[in-house]
Amino acid sequence: MRKMLLVCSFLLLLSLVTWSAAAQKKMSLIEALDKVSAALGTRFVYEASLLANKTTTVDLSDLKNKPVEEVLKAILYPHDLLFLYVDKNHYTIVARKNKHSGNIAQLQPEDDVSLPGDSMRQIRGKVLSNYNEPLAGVTLRAGRYAAATNNEGDFTLRVGSTETALDATAIGWQPVHVDISPKNGAWYSITMQASTSLLKEIAIVSTGYQKIEKSQLSGAATAMSAKDYDQRTAVTGNFLESLEGKVPGLVYNSISRELSIRGVSTFDAVKRPLIVVDGFPTEIDITTINPNDIISVSVLRDAAAAAIYGVQASNGVIVIETRRGKSGKPVFSLRATYAMQAKPDFGYLHYAGSQEYAQLMKDRVNLDGYSRRQVRAGAPIDPVYELLFQVKEGTLTAEEADRRIAGITGYNNMADYKRLFYQTRYARQVDFDVSGGNEKSTYLLGINYVGETPVERRADNQRFVLNFANTYKFTDRFSFDFRAVYNNSANKSGNTVPYTDVLPHQRFTDEQGNPVASVYGPQREAFFSRSVAQNEKIKAYGLYDQLYYPYGELFATTNKINLSAIRLQGRLNTVLTKWLSLDLGGAYENQLTTSSVLKTDNAYVVRKLINTRARKEPVTGKPLYIDIPDGDIYTLDHIRGVSYTVRGQLNVNRDFDGGKHNISAIAGIEQRKRTESGVKSSYFGYDGQSLLSKPVNIQSLTGNKAPEFSETGTMASTFFPEDFFGETSLDRRFMSYYAQATYIYHHKYIATGSFRIDQSNLFGADPAYKNKPLWSAGVSWRIHEENFMQPVSWLNHLQLRMATGFNGNVPSSISGPFLLLGAGINAVPAVAVPQYLVLSPENQSIRWETTRNFNLGIDYALFDNRISGSVDIYNKSTKDVFGEMSADPTTGFNSYRANTASIRNSGLELMVNSINIKGRHFNWQTQLTASFNHNKVLKVMAAESEASVDLIAGTQLREGYPVNPLFSYHYGGLNELGQPFVYNRFNEKKVMNRLDDNIVDVSFEDLVFNGTATPKYAVGLNNQFSLGSFDLSFLFMYYGGHVMRIQPPSSYDVTTTYRYPLQGAANYWRKPGDETHTDIPGFPKYNQPGEFNYTAIYGYTYAHKFVRKADYVRLRDLILTYNVKSAFLQRNGLNRTQLRLQAQNMFRYTFSGNDIDPEAIDRVTGVRSLPVEPFYSFSFYTNF
């Protein structure tokens, strides 16, 4: 196969060499500039009429072998056209006129025309765009005197002493009139607004393998420029935040960190899109990407655009281009941001307060029969329960108990929990870089710092990113691009115990601020906890205090995660012929993550572990810490990931028949490898000062045994060696062969195709499993270029695209056709022994996941480009989805890894850009993106549970339903006995029971399908206003089409440790007749009339009435920017200075009730999490 590919590649190149035109024929200037853009990544802005009906015969087959300035001179100068350098490989094209015409665009910077003998004065200043960028080549005229700005936007002009008016003009920019009366001084800052209705700008999409004009694509791709991306400040350094609402089909939730492109098409494989940085995929933490360095983001959404990445592209591809240096004197850039966020609102959790919780406890004793006999002997008892037990036992009157309980429940600890465990969040970010160079070499050196004080106390995050970029041109034929990024981050946190660990009337500290013990252990657990009396005996032995101190836990454990990563990449470009070049390059990444957990001997788990494993001295009875020494426990986990990508690629770009035909193609070989190794070690009796530790007798810790000090517990704390020691290893390798070609005929008709073969060691060495061929094909028609469309003056651009193809996915967990084993230590026997667990039996039929894509799209621009956008319809079908398959019980396995399902995603994507108002001082633009996705499981062969509650509370795939379906019971309420019942499909009442042999349940067909828990619709509405020096923008995000479950109040929650009672839980059924005004079940009843157990309450907990629409609108950000025009700052070298105020998540509206935040709830279980508060930031930007 490899030899055949090499032969085919050689024949293709040979045929291209022999196929050459005898002479270059004419092509339009627009075609010529398009080719320059595609080959060199340049961008041009020009008035369309300047290039109309103009042609060139310049040979453009050797673009990469010539400086861009030389090419532009050959194309433009014969037509009296000039090109003006603006910034970042961006040029403006203007007309050259003679001096007598009054247009002096040909003047060199700092030149002026003035007449001798006049009484003169000199004025100076700077001309900036409305985006605060300096403008070069702007004509400034005052009467008979004129000059032009230089590359930095600066100008000097001598004017008559009586002149009072200055006019600034430039092609593509609205004219500006300035009062230059002597009273206004001699220095002026001028801002010009872009006149986009007169301009055509070429958008370039980067695929990572090549840069191509967007209009030459047949697939679905979106390109974001630096201006669009930089509209929002990424306060915490997460570059993905700025993509939300800007790219159709891409859904990113900055709160949940969910990221997807065109829905979820897998269940157990990689779900996130592939991220490519400067041409090469990245495997390291995305925090190494500095948002301030990004100059463009291309999102490849379908097979024709993304198939070149093969098995990595099923979920889409995000391609990031970062800044390079630019020739010229050194330019320094500084950005500083400070942000603040208030403590979260705990009231949103709707937890029951002290009095309601105490009422539930009281009812549990009086109505449910809960008594001291049901409490383990010696176990701790809450003071409220103790008083109620005493009343029941006749040792205390009910009145006295009520009085004491009222004193206890008069205190609610939620405010103290918020004060002690949480704090105001602060974030700060500083970005500083310098860039410069000359025609031969450019450089950029930058540093980025992000510091954060998170909302949890004792937490602190720090991150530094160093970035270096260098381009060097050895000769006209050889150039080299090099980049290096170093990232170092340190995150620290304490042990913030959940609020649900304690009852609402229990205190965290005494009056002096010292931690106070909770009655129960973690998660309100009582069975293994010690009472105060038992604890006194434990301490009398000389053992550790064994009570649980929630506030003390915050300081008893310190978690640290240190990440150090380096990314090196280089690319050598060699021009072989006028139309053929070779790229050799690669990327190397090395990331070390060190996680450390220091649990001092004040930590509850350490104290309990040491106590229950202590031995008793035979004579004195004192504890001997032989097996586990006393002191701290320090655990270190080192994980090193190393990856590299090596690529060799041929690039072809050739015109034939005078530009009538164009072929651009790439073909290459790529090898990738990813290894990961981890080592975990622990130190017992650790002393952080001397860095010494004590030996531990691991062998004696295995097996289940009773403590020698019986007061510490009925069973010694379980010791799993893998929690403290271990080693892991991962090795993934890929080899790929690829080719992609684009053919353009008459600048109107485009055909594209790609082919790729991926090989991986994930499927063994047999070619039948490791090879995966993938391809794509597409066509595109630029309808607006047709002659019959020329009379339609209001239509500026209309292009039809259609593409289809295949890409794939790799499993996220261990998979393959072979027998998979997991090694470990069996610590249950008295003597620990190695053990091997069969993760999956041999399966020779397992295959790659494969996704077939179809896309039909239209791009348009109307009314002098005032309205533009795109519409895409897609169908995305994935087969051979990885999952667990039910096994024949006679094989000895319950399930095995296999290709179990097929999933289809189909939908519609829209993007609309409109220039609503374009004035001299006021501008208003709107951008709308919309994504509509329908997801369905076409086939599934995975194991299914027989219990209905597993279908409701789990995430199992079901044929004919979405990937994340939400099912519920058809809850009927309570009968006259207080029993909760559900209806089956025959409208029969069922009181469920799954505790004994008399199982009563409903089938899958009896459940109610409520919808999907994943948003089907995502709409972003972004408005941008500009008034003078101020810019205002705001982004509204709408997510909808999905549903969520809400947790209902339940009296039963007071008896459990995994749920916390909510407000309203006390309004439950107590006596016959209550079912008419409440449907909340009471406490389970056993062996009495109206008997039901807790499994019957599932029908209420997961009732269809507690499922709501999850549609919501959120004001994601509101941004006010002031473009400083201070003459003082600019005279002192500061330019492009901005002050920015930004507010995030200020407003939310939920369509089914604003008491629920769909971004702060588990949409499957209904359990709420803390909502995200508004985030306010202030930023300062400047260049000098």
Res 397 pLDDT > 90: yes
- pLDDT tens for each residue of 651-710: 998 888 877 888 999 999 999 999 999 999 999 999 988 999 999 887 777 667 788 888
Condensed to tens digits (0 to 9), the pLDDT of residues 1004-1018 reads 899 999 999 999 999
Give 711-757 pLDDT, tens digit per residue.
888 777 777 778 888 888 888 888 999 999 999 998 889 999 999 98
Q: 33: left (phi > 0), else alpha (psi -120 to 50), else beta? A: alpha
H helices of 307-413, where? 354-366, 383-393, 398-409
Which whole number is the average pLDDT over 766-782? 82
Q: What is the pLDDT of residues 81-126, one digit of tens each?
A: 877 655 556 677 877 643 333 333 333 333 344 444 457 888 888 8
For position 711, what pLDDT does the model report? Answer: 85
Instruction: Quote the pLDDT of residue 185.
Output: 80
Closest CA to 857 of 785, 913, 789, 783: 783
| 208-232 pLDDT per residue, tens | 788 777 777 888 888 888 778 888 8
Tokens of 216: 């030459």
Q: Where in the chain is the domain with CATH 3.55.50.30?
A: 25-95
Greater confidence, 548 or 813? 548
* Amino acid 111: pLDDT: 38
Position 358 scores a pLDDT of 93
Q: Is the pLDDT of residue 376 over 70?
A: yes
What angle, rounded to 10 degrees, do the helices at 68-76 and 29-40 form? Answer: 180
The confidence score (pLDDT) of residue 232 equals: 86
pLDDT for res 703? 67
Q: Which residues contact 898 (CB under 8 A, 6 or more apart)?
A: 843, 845, 846, 882, 883, 884, 885, 941
Q: What ranges make up the beta strands (E) of 40-131?
A: 43-47, 55-56, 81-85, 90-95, 112-113, 120-129
Return the pLDDT at 86: 52
pLDDT the model gives residue 191: 80
pLDDT of residue 553: 95
pLDDT band at 65 (very low <50, low <70, confident <90, very high): low
pLDDT of the residue at 387: 94
Q: Which of 32-46, 112-126, 169-183, 241-255 has the lowest mean pLDDT?
A: 112-126
Position with higher pLDDT, 394 vs 23: 394
Average of pLDDT values for 1167-1171?
Answer: 90
Please give the pLDDT value at position 527: 75
Percent of the chain at pLDDT exceeding 90 = 42
The mean per-residue pLDDT over the stretch 267-283 comes to 82
Per the CB < 8 A criterion, the answer to whether 1081 and 1112 are in contact is: no
Q: What are phi and psi of 1011, to 5 degrees?
A: 140, -165
- 799's CB contacts (< 8 A; 6+ apart) are 215, 780, 781, 782, 783, 784, 858, 859, 860
Residue 475 has pLDDT above 60, yes or no: yes
Looking at residues 50-70, what average pLDDT do you find? 73
Output the pLDDT for position 324.
Answer: 85
Report pLDDT for 107: 37
Query: Could you tell me the two tokens for 1031?
Result: 């810019």
Q: Which of 711, 669, 510 lies closest to 9, judged by CA?
A: 669
Two tokens, residue 261? 């492109």
Q: Rounded to 5 degrees, what angle do the CA atoms 1020, 1022, 1025 make?
A: 175
Q: What is the pLDDT of residue 12?
A: 38
pTM, two decimal places = 0.82
Separation CA 629–CA 659 (nearest Å): 82
- pLDDT for 89 equals 64
pLDDT score of 1153 more than 60: yes
Q: What percent of the chain has pLDDT over 70?
A: 88
Choice between 616 and 49, residue whose per-residue pLDDT is larger? 616
Q: Give the pLDDT band (50/70/90) at residue 285.
A: confident
Residues contacting residue 326 through CB under 8 Å, at least 6 positions apart: 87, 88, 89, 435, 436, 437, 442
Coil, helix or strand at residue 63: helix
pLDDT tens track for 498-521: 999 999 999 999 999 999 999 988
Name which of 134-138, 200-204, 941-945, 994-998 the model is least confident about: 200-204
CATH no. of 25-95? 3.55.50.30
pLDDT, mean of residues 375-404 = 90
Look at residues 1035, 1013, 1037, 1005 and name the one whose alpha carbon lies nearest to residue 1023. Answer: 1035
Residue 72: pLDDT band with limits 50, 70, 90: confident
Question: Poorest-confidence range of 95-109, 759-773, 864-878, 1168-1182?
Answer: 95-109
Residue 910, pLDDT > 80, answer yes
Using the predicted structure, report yes or no on whether residue 601 has a pLDDT greater than 60. yes
pLDDT of residue 132: 60
Q: What is the mean pLDDT of residues 126-152?
A: 77
Residue with token string 């407000």: 1063
Q: What is the pLDDT of residue 270?
A: 67
Q: What's the rounded mean pLDDT across residues 804-818?
A: 72
pLDDT at 846: 75
Backbone angles phi, psi at 139, to 5 degrees: -85, 130
The string of pLDDT tens digits covering residues 1029-1066 is 899 999 999 999 999 999 999 998 888 877 899 999 99
Average the pLDDT over each of 109-118, 264-273, 434-443, 490-499 and give the range with the smallest value: 109-118
Segment 294-346, tens digit of pLDDT: 888 888 888 776 778 877 777 888 898 888 887 778 889 999 999 999 999 99
DSSP 971-1014: EEEE-TT--EEEE-TT--EE--B-SSSS-B---GGGSEEEEESS
Q: What is the pLDDT of residue 93?
A: 80
Round to whole Å and give the CA distance between 862 and 390: 82
pLDDT band of 921, cuts 50, 70, 90: confident
In the predicted model, what is the mean pLDDT of the chain?
84
Q: Residue 131 — pLDDT band, cuts 50, 70, 90?
A: low
pLDDT at 613 > cutoff 50? yes
- What integer pLDDT is reported at residue 112 of this predicted model? 40
Q: What is the per-residue pLDDT for 10?
A: 38
* Residue 466 predicted with pLDDT over 60: yes
- Tell me: pLDDT of 922 over 80: yes
Per-residue confidence (pLDDT) for residue 88, from 0 to 100 = 53
For the domain made up of 99-198, the CATH class stated in words is mainly beta
CATH 2.60.40.1120 range(s) for the chain read: 99-198
The residue-averaged pLDDT of 239-263 equals 83
Beta strands 154-160 and 632-656 are: unpaired
